[in-house]
Structure 1
Amino acid sequence: MNHRAIKPLALALALTCFGAHANGITPTRGIDVSQLNASAKPCDDFFGYVNANWLKANAIPGDRATWGSFEILDEMSMAATHELAQSAAKNLATAKPESMEYKVGAFYQSGMDADAANKAGITPIADYLTRIDALKSPADIAAFVRDTHVQGLGLLFNFGGEADFKNSSMEIAYALQGGLGLPERAYYLEDGKDGSYKKIREAYVAHIARTLELGGVESAAAKAQADKVLAFEKRLAGVSLAPVEMRSPENQYNYVTLDAAAAANPNLGWKQLFTELKLADTKGFSLSQPKFFGEVDKMLTDVPAADWQAYLRFKIIDGAAPYLTDALAEESFNFYGRTLRGQKENQPRWKRVMESIENGMGMGLGQLYVARNFPPEAKQRAQALVDDLRQATKTRIEKLAWMSEDTKKKALEKWSTFTPKIGYPETWRSWDGLVIKSDSYFANVAASAKFNQDYAMSKINKPVDRKEWGMTPQTVNAYYNPLQNEIVFPAGILQPPFFDAKADDALNYGGIGAVIGHEMMHGYDDEGSKFDAKGNLSDWWTKEDREKFESRTAKLVQQFDDYVAIDGLHVKGQLTLGENIADLGGLSVAHDAFKLAQARKGEDAGKKIDNLTPDQRFFVNFAQVWRRAFRDEELKRRLNVDPHAPAQFRAIGAPSNMPAFAQAFECKTGSAMVRDEQKQVKIW
């Protein structure tokens, strides 16, 4: 179901994030100079110069909310895994039930059987609904909520395992705020610009009512319950932290003993939950937002049981909707896809099924994907780029004029413990015990959710497995994990325009080189810089150096605050600060590494290809990576919740602070892409 236990934190500080997947497209390979926009000057409108013509010629597909370089590779990844699933489904009769091929094939076959799902109706969740109808006391309600976590559905709050912020060698449990259906707290508590949040709230209430009715609630009762659900979630929103507050590691970690948690929240039953999760020997965990859980505990006694029933009933039906009838799946899309994100049409069924398999057993699917789609030489070439970027990062830290020797020494200690992971895991997780059948889609979704929850819980209170990955190999993304001080590059992103073993260095350093640098520099952004060489939350800075750092990052906050994205709505510089620091530092060290590579090979720095110098090609490919269009609704949603700035601003934000860009395109002082000296941001 949708309510999966999640890793706390955006701890994996990822390069980007996006949604869904279609066929028949190819990635950008190299630079097609005929696509460059001659009517735009690179010094004034660099994003338009590189991308305007392509964006004009490539409309956002109907089943997408965004479209660009990441999404094209995502389509290719989806097509590759789809082919694997189709093949596995055709060979079910000869496959062994315990094999990954059988599990993928059976899952796919069950998902594609729309007739069976429509015939079953809401029967697959009938037991949950019956149990909700019988809830009467706070103890009943708390017991039901706890059981959803045992089953891997995770209602009301988020619960999962992660390394201890203060002892990163051990994994502990984290409980975090959750329970909201709208993107974040402001949608409940404010009306928004031109009443936009109010309109979305009204649409949400209508969606709740329709979902309840499709789930068997009589029409008038469904409408009344929908109002109760909104009021319930509004109360949760009132004690929830905003996305920008949730970025702070200090707001993500609050270690308490189990006894203290039980005393603080006597109605929730923390000790019972840990016992039911087979973690009875737990001494403590992170009760990460105590104010939120204090309010939830009060709600168990002062919110009528009928209101709790309405809320839980809706959450169960809504979470299961994509895997039940066509009517429920379409209702889910109409709100979450069409209203919130602006998609014109739902994804075809095969794509939705592939996403379910990715969510349920993506690493198993990845094992099949890698065997067919990732040659060893790609991993070797990427490793060479990582080595160059590591050296460039070290040199840049050593030369920092604003940082004291004491702090610089600690920064270099952290540099020395960076762990890169490329392509796919060294060892594969076992899927023994997960039973997948070909005749019930929802049963397979539920079985994988339970299996993954049991797996996640089995790691808590044990040493961290440093070989484990937080992304599947087929994912088109990359991430940095401050608790392990690791940078991770799945096979899915090691393709053009990011990486091409046959391309000139300018393209690879401006593409995947900037990605590698980005992830490394997350270790020194406003969040990552609070974790030390061992991955522990620790203040390794002198007071003076931290103040200098924050003075410099404040300029970057202001730079992005000034960008207007749509309808007078600005980018949120503080929300996107970590990614913007990583972009600026990452592109800078990538360019340094590129110059080192040129010098090592004795290449002519002025030699042109397609009338572009190597430095120009470096920056053009960086901008191609951020080639992306958004539907209006999706762009507005992301401005509120996404820690990444919209792509058009990422394409220009870092280069406009770099003298190397101005030199490459001979930009004059006063050009839009040349920030004046007082505003220019120099951090790493």
Structure 2
Amino acid sequence: MLSKISVALAATALLFAAIRLPAQQAVQPLQSMPYSPSLDLSSLDRSADPCTDFYKFSCGGWEKKNPIPADQSGWSVYAKLGNENEQFLWGILEADAKAANRDAVQQKVGDYFAACMNTSAIDALGVKPALPGLARIDALKTRPELVAAISSLHHEYEGSFFFNSGTDQDAIDSSVEIVALGAGGLGLPDRDYYLKTDDKSVKLRAQYVAYIQKLLTLGGESAEQAKFDADATLRVETALAKASLTRVDRRDPHKTYHMMTIGELSKIAPAFDWPHYFEIQGAPGVAKLNVAQPEFMKAVQTEVSTESVEALRGYLRLHFLTAAAPYLAHPLEQADFDFYSTTLRGVPAMPPRWKTCTRGVDRDLGEALGQEFVKRTFSADTKAKTQLMTEQIETAMKQEIENLDWMSPATKQEALRKLHVIRNKIGYPDQWRDYTTLEIKPDDYVGNVVRSYRFEDARQWHKLGKPVDLNEWGMTPPTVNAYFNPQMNDINFPAGVLQPPLYDTKLDDAPNYGNTGATIGHELTHAFDDEGRQFDDKGNLRDWWTPADAKGFEDRINCIRDQYAQYIVVDDIHINSKLTSGEDVADLGGTLLAYIAWKKQTAAQQLASVDGFTSDQRFFVGMAQWACENERPEVLRVRAITDPHSPGYARINGVVSNMPEFQKAFSCKAGQPMVHAPTCRVW
């Protein structure tokens, strides 16, 4: 998701002689959602042996007929459906932008889209919208002025200036919203990009410095000043990276929970006037807060205290401008894309403008746009069937927990208590977010982004001192994804992910339970993965495991970690299975739960073979085909460092090789690749 930033219009003008070439759009807005089956015979590669490489057998044909589009870092079944959802939303937004008689929701989403699509007006402004913010940074002459300015920058802009602040549920008491302080301030995707010494990492850091120089010169700096600022930025960010927790450490909620008083925080980072800082954010009188990474905040203190004011100004300028660039004239937008999409992820071409604008509306007005999407795509019947499938899978989980031979009765009782109160959110929120006070204009793109950011920022800070809204969603309805929230103790399935080919009302239960059922089971299993299991039925961080049961869990998850650590992501880079183990456990557990639920659902039926596949085989092919994908090597390198999900082939082969049910269905024998020894299983 692109960063949002509030930028004020300048009184002075600095115009680019920019020409924004019209996008070559071979596609048109969709008036209805297309249909693709959840089990697609043309996606198979029948030359592959399913007992040797089940992913290739299920997805080899899909890979051949689905090359990666020029504006994508990769292409997958999920990405393809996401693209179709966006095309459908594009049609809605074009209509809402032009309609004469519109309701309030249609006015807001239509006017936002229209303003974003007006690239001639955006280009005519050049860098002008960012000039006031840059001028404010340039005016900082002393260290106290600069440190004080970070408070206002955090309030007015979403650029990542050293650290991040906001509200969050208290990990120990999930009913309470507290202030949280987190690490931030890095321009590269992860701390490892600054610290690794291999040739690719060294080259990428040089390319990052070149990007900074280019962006800052586009923002009006001299080449000499831009070079100084680029070198200073890399130096500051490297120091912050060294003090940052690894992504594996950040998966441990205990390592990111450090409640402190304002006085204790002031001892770690005395350069900041913390009571004043939080008053500016809209949270006066804060007494305690969670400091996720105290050592990182000590590094921030060192940097703002020892680096020259000129170097710190350069760092702030870069982070201000890099956050603003996607919303400014084409040269700045292109510079941002060239580094973050092309260099980092291998994407050769920018997306057509309609995609950028559709994504912007979804980002800033997601529940308004979601209303338009849901009433056209998501039936009550689909919601009811998905709800039934979810309940069946929860019943399967209950039976699995009750029958575990490695878990004591005391821990089982706690696990079942948690399972029984998990809340299922399907399709869309029960109550839509109210955007009444957010002003959206059809001729003010930057202003719309400004007001949207401030609206959301105020909404988040307004949560302090109020009960946690258990009905809130973390994804918009058109999103092709799903999630489990350990502190809310809920699983969430937006309407966007419950469309063909992921959920297919035209096909039988076997592929639907294999696909959507396994996804439901996946999210449910997250409640009991290595991270989720640390939260109780109320969503509180509490150890409800006996020591022997905790060891039994770790022994079993280590079997999965050892297995997945053997898989290659790209080149000679192996999966970091300590990073991916939560998702790997959820994939395996979710597929098993879906299989159990499907067997119960169809127990009284005579299931005939279809297209030469038994019903069990159809279940597993349906399960595998959600993961069909092609990925660019550049983005695979990023994912190997940053993504807690394993590559698609490992997510399928790793699961089925641990399932005797699959091996029986395809008559796989011991010693074949899809028969893992020993069999790994947690749930």
Q: Which range, TM-score by smaller chain?
A: over 0.9
Distance change (3 Å), C-alpha of 1:42 and 1:233: same
The C-alpha deviation readout for 1:427-480, integer Å capped at 9, x for no partner, is 011112111122221221121111100001001232100011111000000000
How far the C-alpha of 1:118 sits from its partner, in A, is 1.4
1:156-212 per-position Cα deviation (integer Å, ceiling 9, x unaligned):
2222222110001111121111111111111111123xx111111111100000000
Secondary structure in structure 2 of the residue aligned to 1:168: coil
For 1:462 and 1:4, how far apart are their aligned partners in 2? Answer: 26
Name the SS for the 1:487 alignment partner.
strand
CA shift for structure 1 position 360 = 1.6
The answer to whether the 8 Å contact 1:22/1:75 transfers is: no
Deviation at 1:123, TM superposition (A): 1.2
- Structure 1 residue 125 corresponds to structure 2 residue 133: no
- Give the deviation of 1:377 after TM superposition: 1.2
Q: Secondary structure at the match of 2:49?
A: coil
Identify the residue that residue 680 of structure 1 maps to in structure 2: 679
Aligned length: 659
Paired residue for 2:149? Answer: 144
What SS does the corresponding residue of 2:165 show, helix, strand or coil? Answer: strand
Q: 1:34 to 1:85 in 2, by over 3 A?
A: closer
Please point out which of 584, 593, 605 is paired with 1:603. 605
Relative to structure 1, the CA distance from residue 546 to residue 22 in structure 2 (aligned partners, 3 Å threshold; closer, same or farther) is farther
Matched with 2:378 is 374
Residue 47 (structure 1) aligned with residue 55 (structure 2):
yes
One-letter identity of the residue aligned with 1:329 = E
* Secondary structure, counterpart of 2:176 in structure 1: strand
**Aligned ranges for residues 391-540 of structure 1 at < 5 Å?**
391-540=395-544
Q: Is the 2:167–2:178 Cα contact (8 Å) retained in structure 1?
A: yes
1:311 alignment partner, one of 308, 311, 315: 315
Q: Which runs of 5+ in 1 are unaligned?
A: 6-20
- Offset from partner CA, 1:207-252 (integer Å, 9 cap, x none): 0000000000012221222111111111111111121111111122
Are 2:542 and 1:541 aligned? no
Map of 1:28 onto structure 2: 36
Report the aligned-residue RMSD.
1.7
Gaps of 5+ in 2: 6-25
Instruction: Normalising by structure 1, report the TM-score.
Output: 0.94
Matched with 1:16 is none
Deviation at 1:4, TM superposition (A): 4.9
CA, structure 1 residues 632+26, in 2 after alignment: closer, same or farther (shift >3 Å)? farther
Cα gap change, 1:437 to 1:33, in 2 (>3 Å): closer
Q: Which residue of 1 aligns with 2:614?
A: 613
For 1:3 and 1:141, the matched residues in 2 are separated by 23
Letter paired with 1:622: M
- Letter of the 1:165 counterpart: A
Call closer, same or farther: CA 1:272–1:385 in 2, change over 3 Å: same
1:552 and 2:561 aligned = no
State the shift of 1:95 in Å: 4.2
CA contact (8 A) 1:35 1:50 kept: yes
What is the SS of the residue equivalent to 1:199? Answer: helix
* Residue of 167, 176, 200 corresponding to 2:182: 176
Output the CA distance in 2 between the equivalents of 1:94 and 1:306. Answer: 54
Quick one: distance in 2 between partners of 1:400 and 1:22? Answer: 52
In the TM superposition, residue 255 of structure 1 has moved relative to its aligned partner by 1.4
Shift of residue 341 of structure 1? 0.6
Tell me if structure 2 keeps the 8 A contact 1:407–1:541. yes
Alpha-carbon offset, residue 26 of structure 1: 4.6
Query: SS of the counterpart of 2:51?
Result: coil
- Per-residue deviation, 1:136: 2.1
Report if the CA contact (8 A) 2:502-2:515 is conserved. yes
DSSP 3-state at the match of 1:489:
strand
Q: Is the 8 A contact 1:262 1:271 kept in 2?
A: no
Rounded to whole Å, the distance in 1 between the matches of 2:400 and 2:468 is 31
Partner SS for 1:172: strand
Map residues 35-434 of structure 1 onto 2, 5 A cutoff: 35-91=43-99, 94-95=101-102, 99-154=104-159, 155-192=161-198, 195-434=199-438
Say which SS state the counterpart of residue 194 (structure 2) adopts: helix
SS of match in other structure, 1:657: coil
Spell out, residue by residue over 1:28-67, the C-alpha distance to the aligned partner (whole angstroms, 9 max, x if none). 3042334421211100010110111110121000000111
CA contact (8 A) 2:4 2:449 kept: no
CA drift of 1:145 comes to 1.6
Q: Distance in 2 between matches of 1:57 and 1:164?
A: 48
Instruction: Tell me the percent identity.
Output: 39
SS of 1:128's equivalent in the other structure is helix
Distance 1:180 1:143 in 2: 20
Q: What is the identity, as a one-letter code, of the residue corresponding to 1:581?
A: V
Distance 2:432 2:39 in 1: 37
Separation of aligned partners in 2, 1:186 and 1:163: 29
- Rounded to whole Å, the distance in 2 between the matches of 1:650 and 1:269 is 48
SS of the residue 2:200 aligns to:
helix
Superposed displacement of residue 496, structure 1: 2.0
The answer to whether the Cα contact below 8 Å between 1:333 and 1:346 also exists between their aligned partners in 2 is: yes
Give, in angstroms, the shift of residue 258 of structure 1.
2.3
Q: 1:22 to 1:72 in 2, by over 3 A?
A: farther
How far apart are residue 365 of structure 1 and its match?
A: 1.4
1:191–1:28 distance in 2 versus 1, CA, 3 Å: farther
Q: Quick check: 633-642 or 22-31, which moved more?
A: 22-31
Deviation at residue 501 of structure 1 after TM alignment:
2.2
Any idea what SS the aligned residue of 1:578 has? Answer: helix
| Equivalent-residue separation in structure 1 for 2:365 and 2:273 (angstroms) | 30
Q: Distance in 2 between matches of 1:585 and 1:621?
A: 16
* Distance (whole Å) between structure 2 residues aligned to residue 240 and residue 631 of structure 1: 28
